Chain A
């Protein structure tokens, strides 16, 4: 994976982002914005009330001004810190959006008229369906599909990858993105999007968080937090009557301090930052999620459908051995195989040429004098080869060659049949080579399983995710590769509609399915899957159908996407637990402080031995505010995800964030209390 250079330059420490975030935290004090976050809205209202009381106390000359001022200030800090967290998270996306916007800068487009001439017009005037001509060194004016020509295109503006990519008409590499630049050749592009709806536009609004909607899980968590806030609001409001009855009425400062400390401000303040940061982490890995919902769904995925080629195995099969038929030398076989493959441009064909060259030194052969006639692969014969010097050399699938030699009454020797069976059983693909209807031997093509893939699948299994390999291979080959790669299951001889049926079937069982795809024929399955990751090199149709686009076009990344999804949820859960667990210590700080004047005996509950009631309340409020700042890096980075089973993961997180959440504030509040009395602040 190539890290996005733009993302890199916008790391946490970036000064500009920091400055903008600080300014934004003040703008975000606007109650119309605050009300969207009920927890922090309550804090803001509390801060306003203390401010009003503070001013009126000042005018009437009563109350402890110094204490009231400090409480008021720290309440405002609490709100600002939460705003800062959100602004920080947004800042990274905004910086990235800025660079993207530059790429979108107005370009000239050469629109092709019906009569074949072109007219110049600004790219913003282009409509879906228009055809434009783009030559070397010109920017592609909008998203579209190459309908004529081949060109190398610099897509670094979007992917961050500086190596140019090939875009050509037809096939699965026809999609081009507006804002990218043609480096060589000329192509005709049919524009597929209207202004404002381009991929770049969508990407900008996504990274800016403008189109960010709360995800279902976030909504549920918000309800829980709002519920807790209401409970604590009532617990504090009703405390005053109880206090009055007990002869110890409380000041507004003490009550609001207690309220703010109890409501889950830590998670409330960091919740949206966590969500934005989750999207951002995906973007850092060059994955564009079309919705937060998709990221969340990624965390829930039960089944991963992985295409064999490119995901589990390295690109394509390679020739790894020649097995000659009886009476034929290996060198003869290699020579024939190489001759049959010279015109074969497929990776398999090239690998045969290379293997013959490396193993038998067959290189620099001059073919022209022999007047070779190359026979390309055809779907009817399912063979390819060459006719030269009166020899017919053919290579093809065993069945095809069998049929071919049968025309002349020949048969495949039993030794060769044995080779074929053995290769197929071990996951390889056998090809037969024949010259003049005589079988020369077998070429063994092998799938090379990617290094480390087995461990990744083991991790996924530990997470409770089933992996399923999709391949066009026959069941025998598929089984062998599945065994080698360690996938849980496989679908062999798969046609696009089989993939679709498989997804539907898993979904009917209540499972969430994720898949990657790039071809147009993948589009329906991508749309059907709960998480469909389209490759950026893929067709426009595939990119439209999926809910994520991987700019690096690396199918293995699905695994990282799943981890990011889980990490997002875990971070929310961990901080919620931490936030609520913190309340225990805060009670032990504030309740004794409130009533110590009237009932010195309640000082027994002051287990932290905080110096004065004022210092106790202040310490709790300060801790509550600072913990938000302290946890911003964690919120942005996310809790580290470990591929463990649910029970082990929960035990671990309960221990760290639950038990830790109970203990940490006892230490923190005590420490602040020592500092406060040392500074004589209260």
Chain B
């Protein structure tokens, strides 16, 4: 660990702190339909959209209609993407003449992008046409993020409102997310990325001559081996910058290229790297302030934020420490950080980012359900790889996905408040709303769905031929690969221990189910809670009410999150990364 490394980590953290309030206030103004400086341009467009789509923007709905609208919208979008993928070879903007996708891969990808997961079982530059990238994937990057934000706002309204039957209008919340927040920010950020060298074109891939020809071994179908000299390289291009911005800002994470944010055309410089990480945390962090603002308790917003920040810092600390320490099995190799080398475990990392920015990016992308990567998670040290795994297992609530992080966090807030309420001898209240059996039931259900999905699919995969076929390493690392895949899918993260070959019928179909369960089956109970809370009477605060602000609440919230997560996954983790770590220290690698 170096001073420079810590400086970069805290530079990033400081920027997140500064962004939270102003962006949070802006989000609040947008969703509460208060005037903003963008109104003169956007209001006419908004009105036009409502008129064309026949939306009555003055009408709000209850949680059920809100949920149905959300499911319908996501469902239709999903089918649309599936159709584009299955017909791309006949569609325009396909200079590389890429073929249609297989049904299971197309389905997996369609689900993946609709659920804001962006798990990629394919190599984008050799699979997706420009048209599919732009009209299919980028479209979902925007809409799945907008859906998440709308849901978060609806849930906040449920907490904030008193004796109200409605929690908002899905179409209005979605439209405003897109027009006021995602589109303007993406235009600016895409330009910023272009300034750093991110490409933006619709050209066919170019051929380049290698400076140093490479000799590779080739195996013919009959088994005979031959040497082959490679002198040229195909360089993939495309409309990258425009997609990169929303990929990060919408915590989507689906790379334009297979190497994702490690690719120099996606993430060329340390500055672009910092920008991309900030884009991941910006909206999830700001939403905590919006929560405080809309519920009239700014301190509560900050208390929730603090819990997220503490868990984030803990993760980054461990990840940075273990990656800097490197692999003890590399005996006689100098892994000390110096002026000339970053030191530590550099396997799978880009030299332009080094240890600190790789550990930080890994923590950020898995805290938030982004899943973009600037280094290979599969190559992290066992404990370094356990950090992203745990981050996702906690439920993608450490800032979390745009919107989904906040509403996921509110589930834990409800559980914390319930326990706290019991311990102070009062029927638990959350910001004046009594937490009763129904709310607890739904909160528990929401957490159950995710945990069960991860554990059950991983357990089946680890003992079946179809599952075991995908892993690339034996022993505990193979277990980690499978665990990571389903954790990532269920948590709608999308990053992977990339050694796993998931482009099989088994993984494509089960991961698609995991992603759907993780997104939709866990949000419906939360919406139900929101609807239920909105209808409740407000109980004024008294000295006997447990405060949901301040350090005590933050500590309690963190404890509940860590205990629930740790207790659920400790057995699996002990046979995966923990065992691998102990074996590595004893001199055995996988």
- CB of B88 within 8 Å of the partner chain: no
- CB of A245 within 8 Å of the partner chain: yes
Q: Mark A646-682, 1 if CB is under 8 A from B, else 0.
A: 1101110110011000000000000000000000000
- Shortest distance between the CB of A253 and any CB in chain B (Å): 16
Judge whether A601 and B579 touch: CB under 8 Å: yes
- CB of B223 within 8 Å of the partner chain: no
Judge whether B452 and A227 touch: CB under 8 Å: no
How far is B434's CA from A217's CA once the two chains are assembled, in angstroms?
Answer: 11
Chain B residues near A223: list those with CB within 8 A: 437, 440-441, 444
- CB of A395 within 8 Å of the partner chain: no
How many residues of B are in contact with the other chain, CB < 8 A? Answer: 68
Chain B residues near A262: list those with CB within 8 A: 567
- CB of A570 within 8 Å of the partner chain: yes
Judge whether A242 and B544 touch: CB under 8 Å: no
- Shortest distance between the CB of B525 and any CB in chain A (Å): 11
Q: Mark B295-323, 1 if CB is under 8 A from A, else 0.
A: 00000000000000000000000000000
Name the residue on A nearest B583 (C-beta). Answer: A601
Chain B residues near A587: list those with CB within 8 A: 567, 570-571
- CB of A529 within 8 Å of the partner chain: no
Q: Mark B520-556, 1 if CB is under 8 A from A, else 0.
A: 0000000000000000011110111111001010011
Judge whether B419 and A573 touch: CB under 8 Å: yes
- CB of B175 within 8 Å of the partner chain: no
* In the complex, chain A residues 616-661 whose Cβ is within 8 Å of any chain B Cβ: 641, 645-647, 649-651, 653-654, 657-658
- CB of A577 within 8 Å of the partner chain: yes
- CB of A18 within 8 Å of the partner chain: no
Judge whether B546 and A650 touch: CB under 8 Å: yes
Judge whether A235 and B568 touch: CB under 8 Å: yes
Judge whether A461 and B543 touch: CB under 8 Å: yes
Judge whether B422 and A570 touch: CB under 8 Å: yes
Judge whether A246 and B479 touch: CB under 8 Å: yes
Judge whether A224 and B425 touch: CB under 8 Å: no
- CB of A85 within 8 Å of the partner chain: no
A232-B567, A605-B578, A650-B556 are known contacts. Are A645 and B422 too (CB-CB below 8 A)? no
Judge whether A649 and B423 touch: CB under 8 Å: yes
Name the residue on A nearest B163 (C-beta). Answer: A510
Interface of B (DSSP majority class): helix
- CB of B159 within 8 Å of the partner chain: no
Judge whether B427 and A296 touch: CB under 8 Å: yes
How far is B559's CA from A465's CA once the two chains are assembled, in angstroms?
Answer: 29
Name the residue on B nearest A217 (C-beta). Answer: B427
Judge whether A300 and B423 touch: CB under 8 Å: no
Chain A residues near B179: list those with CB within 8 A: none
Chain B residues near A509: list those with CB within 8 A: 540
- Shortest distance between the CB of B214 and any CB in chain A (Å): 38
Chain B residues near A217: list those with CB within 8 A: 422, 427
Most buried by A among B455, B456, B566: B455
Q: Mark B418-431, 1 if CB is under 8 A from A, else 0.
A: 11111111110000
- CB of A595 within 8 Å of the partner chain: yes
Chain B residues near A601: list those with CB within 8 A: 579, 582-583, 586
Most buried by B among A219, A510, A581: A510
How many residues of A are in contact with the other chain, CB < 8 A? Answer: 74
Name the residue on B nearest A221 (C-beta). Answer: B422
How far is B422's CA from A569's CA once the two chains are assembled, in angstroms?
Answer: 5
How far is B455's CA from A231's CA once the two chains are assembled, in angstroms?
Answer: 10
A216-B437, A238-B455, A241-B460 are known contacts. Are A650 and B552 too (CB-CB below 8 A)? yes
Judge whether A235 and B571 touch: CB under 8 Å: yes
Other-chain residue from A219, A246, A576 in contact with B437 (beta carbon distance below 8 A): A219
How far is B365's CA from A67's CA once the two chains are assembled, in angstroms?
Answer: 47
How far is B445's CA from A464's CA once the two chains are assembled, in angstroms?
Answer: 33
- CB of A511 within 8 Å of the partner chain: yes
How far is B438's CA from A217's CA once the two chains are assembled, in angstroms?
Answer: 11
A239-B572, A650-B423 are known contacts. Are A583 and B476 too (CB-CB below 8 A)? no
Judge whether A234 and B571 touch: CB under 8 Å: no
Judge whether A227 and B574 touch: CB under 8 Å: no
- Shortest distance between the CB of B59 and any CB in chain A (Å): 28
How far is B580's CA from A604's CA once the two chains are assembled, in angstroms?
Answer: 13
Name the residue on A nearest B452 (C-beta). Answer: A234
- CB of A449 within 8 Å of the partner chain: no
Judge whether A646 and B426 touch: CB under 8 Å: yes
Judge whether B567 and A574 touch: CB under 8 Å: no
Chain B residues near A613: list those with CB within 8 A: none
Q: Mark A241-263, 1 if CB is under 8 A from B, else 0.
A: 11111100000000000100010
* In the complex, chain A residues 567-615 whose Cβ is within 8 Å of any chain B Cβ: 567-570, 572-574, 576-577, 580-581, 583-584, 587, 591, 595, 599, 601-602, 604-605
How far is B460's CA from A344's CA once the two chains are assembled, in angstroms?
Answer: 90
Other-chain residue from B552, B566, B574 in contact with A647 (beta carbon distance below 8 A): B552
How far is B415's CA from A220's CA once the two chains are assembled, in angstroms?
Answer: 11
Other-chain residue from B424, B447, B462, B539 in contact with A510 (beta carbon distance below 8 A): B539
Judge whether A573 and B421 touch: CB under 8 Å: yes
- CB of B432 within 8 Å of the partner chain: yes
Chain B residues near A144: list those with CB within 8 A: none
- CB of B575 within 8 Å of the partner chain: yes
How far is B425's CA from A245's CA once the two chains are assembled, in angstroms?
Answer: 47
- Shortest distance between the CB of A225 and any CB in chain B (Å): 9
- Shortest distance between the CB of B486 and any CB in chain A (Å): 11
Judge whether B435 and A245 touch: CB under 8 Å: no
Judge whether A220 and B419 touch: CB under 8 Å: no
Other-chain residue from B427, B435, B437, B455 in contact with A569 (beta carbon distance below 8 A): B427
- Shortest distance between the CB of B551 and any CB in chain A (Å): 10
Name the residue on A nearest B451 (C-beta). Answer: A231
Judge whether B419 and A576 touch: CB under 8 Å: yes
Chain B residues near A258: list those with CB within 8 A: 571
How far is B436's CA from A246's CA once the two chains are assembled, in angstroms?
Answer: 43
Judge whether A510 and B571 touch: CB under 8 Å: no
Name the residue on A nearest B550 (C-beta). Answer: A647
Name the residue on A nearest B556 (C-beta). Answer: A654
Judge whether B563 and A580 touch: CB under 8 Å: yes
Judge whether A462 and B543 touch: CB under 8 Å: yes
How far is B550's CA from A432's CA once the two chains are assembled, in angstroms?
Answer: 59
- CB of B333 within 8 Å of the partner chain: no
Chain B residues near A574: list those with CB within 8 A: 422-423
Judge whether B423 and A653 touch: CB under 8 Å: yes
Chain A residues near B455: list those with CB within 8 A: 234-235, 238
Chain A residues near B444: list those with CB within 8 A: 223-224, 226-227
Judge whether B426 and A224 touch: CB under 8 Å: no
How far is B143's CA from A380's CA once the two chains are assembled, in angstroms?
Answer: 80
A242-B462, A463-B543 are known contacts. Are A569 and B426 too (CB-CB below 8 A)? yes
Judge whether B419 and A577 touch: CB under 8 Å: yes
How far is B570's CA from A258's CA once the two chains are assembled, in angstroms?
Answer: 12
Other-chain residue from A511, A595, A654 in contact with B540 (beta carbon distance below 8 A): A511
- Shortest distance between the CB of B566 and any CB in chain A (Å): 8
A236-B571, A587-B570, A650-B420 are known contacts. Are A241 and B426 too (CB-CB below 8 A)? no
How far is B441's CA from A88's CA once the two chains are assembled, in angstroms?
Answer: 30
Most buried by A among B452, B476, B544, B579: B544
How far is B583's CA from A464's CA once the two chains are assembled, in angstroms?
Answer: 56
How far is B486's CA from A241's CA once the two chains are assembled, in angstroms?
Answer: 15
Would you mind naming 27 contact pairs between A and B with Cβ atoms under 8 Å apart? A234-B452, A238-B455, A241-B460, A241-B462, A241-B463, A243-B575, A244-B463, A246-B475, A302-B544, A461-B543, A463-B543, A510-B432, A510-B539, A510-B540, A569-B421, A573-B420, A573-B422, A595-B575, A595-B579, A602-B578, A602-B582, A641-B425, A646-B545, A650-B420, A650-B423, A654-B552, A654-B555
Given contacts A300-B427, A569-B421, A602-B582, 11 further A-B contacts (CB under 8 A): A220-B435, A234-B455, A235-B455, A239-B575, A242-B459, A299-B426, A572-B422, A591-B574, A650-B552, A653-B423, A654-B423
- Chain A positions near chain B (C-beta within 8 angstroms): 216-217, 219-221, 223-224, 226-227, 230-232, 234-246, 258, 262, 296, 299-300, 302, 461-466, 509-511, 565-570, 572-574, 576-577, 580-581, 583-584, 587, 591, 595, 599, 601-602, 604-605, 641, 645-647, 649-651, 653-654, 657-658
Q: A-B pairs with the 6 shortest C-beta distances?
A: A464-B544, A573-B422, A566-B425, A227-B444, A464-B543, A464-B542
